[in-house]
Amino acid sequence: MSQDLKSAALAYHAEPEPGKIAISITKSCQTQDDLRLAYTPGVAQPVRAIAEDASNAYRYTAKGNLVAVITDGTAVLGLGNVGALAGKPVMEGKAVLFKKFADIDVFDIEVEAKSPEAFIDTVTAIAPTFGGINLEDIAAPHCFEVERILSERLDIPVFHDDQHGTAIIIAAALINAMELQGKAMERCKIVCLGAGAAGLASMKLLISLGAKRENIRLVDRGGVIHHGRDDLNVYKQPYAVHTDERRLADAMNGADVFVGVSGANLVSAAMVESMAENPIVFALSNPDPEIDPALALSVSPNLVMATGRSDYPNQVNNVLGFPFLFRGALDVRASAINEPMLLAAVHALAALAREPVPQEVLRAYNLEHLEFGRDYIIPKPLDPRLIDRVPPAVAYAAVQSGVARLPYPDSYPRLDNMELATA
C-alpha cells in the first residue's frame, strides 16, 4: 500500500469523527408525550405484547431489519488473526454496505472468544436482538462448524459471507463465462487454488449447478487434493479424487476453468497456456491476483478473465450478493438461508448481466458503452437494478422452499415473472 493511500485511509476513518457508522433515532422525541411513549411508562405496552408473543418483536422493534455483522477476528481480510478489535473497521465497513445497498441496519459485534465453542455460545446468547446473523472473517476450518451449529440452533438466517457470498458471485460470473466460451458446467475441468472457506463453498455451489466432483481439482498448500493424501480434514476429503496430478501445474494442464482464492502470483503464464481452448481464469486474490491479467491475456488472448479488483473488468465483489440476499430473506422473515436461496441469487445476477446496461451505470463508471461479453460477465456493484432483481428471487426461493414465515411481498414483482427468472 502506498503511503498516500495509507494516510488517506486513516484520515477517512478518523475524521471528522471516528468510525464509519452511527445510530439514528427513527421516532419523534421532541415533547414530553414523545418521551412518555418512547420510554416509561409507554414502553411497557410493547414489552407485554412481546412477552405474550415473541413474533411481536418484529412489529414493535427494529429486529426485523437488523443484522449482526460479527467476527472473532481470526481471519481479517488478508491480514490473518489480528484479533476481534482490529477487525472492527472491516465490520463497520460491512455495515456501510448493508445500509447503502439494501437499507439494512447493522450492529457490528467483535467477540473475544477463547474457542469456537465460546464464540458460538456468545452469538447464540445475543441472537434474539437480530433478524439475521452475518458471520465474517472467521478462520477455516472452524468457520464451517460455527456456521453449521448456529444455523441449527437459531431460527433466523445465519450466513458466512466469506463462504457463500464469494461462492454466489463466482457461480454467477462462471455461468456467463461458460456461455461465452461455449462450455458446459458438467463437462468442465475446474481447478480451484485455495481450499479454505471461499474455495470449498464455491466448489460445493458449482456442483449444485452441475459440475462433476470428479472433474474438480482442489489445490491447497500440499498440492492437489487426491485420495492418496492422509492429511485432509473432513471438509477437504469429499474433494479428493483419483488422479496422478500432484502439483498446481499438473492440474492446470487441460483445465477449462481456474478459480483462485489463495494468494498473489501463484499461477504462471505457462500454466495458463497449458489450459484447454477458450479458458476461463478467475484470479481473485486481493490486492494482487494469482496472475496479472495482462500476463494471462498475453499467452491466451481469448480467455475470459475475472479478478477481485475494481480496476479490471469483471470484478467478483461480494457486495453484489450479501446485502440483497439478506434483503430478500428479511422481507419474508426467513428462518434460514438455504441452497435454493443461494442458487436464486446466482441466477438473478447471471441474468441481469445479459440485459442492456442503463445510462446511470455507465455514468457511475465513466463508461461510454458496456454490454454482455468478455469484459462484462457480472453486474456492476453500483447497478441500481440489483435491489429489484436479487431480493425478489431470494424471497421467492425462500417461500417455495418452506423457510419463509411471511408470504411473498406484494411490493415485489409478480410471482409468474419470478418463476421465469429463477427457473
Catalytic residues: 39, 94
Return the ∠ at Cα 392 (arms to 389 and 398), rounded to 5°. 140
Determine the Cα–Cα distance for residues 226 and 247; give it in Å rounded to an integer. Answer: 11
Q: For the chain, what percentages of helix, strand and coil (3-state, to nearest 5) are there?
A: 45, 10, 40
CA distances from 419 to 397, 404, 415 (A): 9, 17, 6
Determine the Cα–Cα distance for residues 28 and 15; give it in Å rounded to an integer. Answer: 29
- Provide the residue count of the chain: 423
- Tell me if 207 sits within 8 A of 304, measured CB to CB: no
Compute, in degrees rounded to 10, the torsion defined by CA atoms 81, 310, 290, 200: 60
Query: φ and ψ at 349, to 5 degrees?
Result: -65, -45
Return the ∠ at Cα 330 (arms to 329 and 331), rounded to 5°. 95
Determine the Cα–Cα distance for residues 69 and 416; give it in Å rounded to an integer. Answer: 34
Q: Please, which residues have CB within 8 angstroms of residue 351's CB and are 6 or more apart in sequence?
A: 389, 421
Q: How many CB atoms lie within 10 A of CB 413?
A: 15
Assigned C-alpha cell, 317: 465483489
Burial 396-405 (b: 16+ CB within 10 A, else e): bbbbbeebbe
Choose among 388, 385, 394, 382: nearest CA to 411.
388
- Tell me if 340 sits within 8 A of 400, measured CB to CB: yes
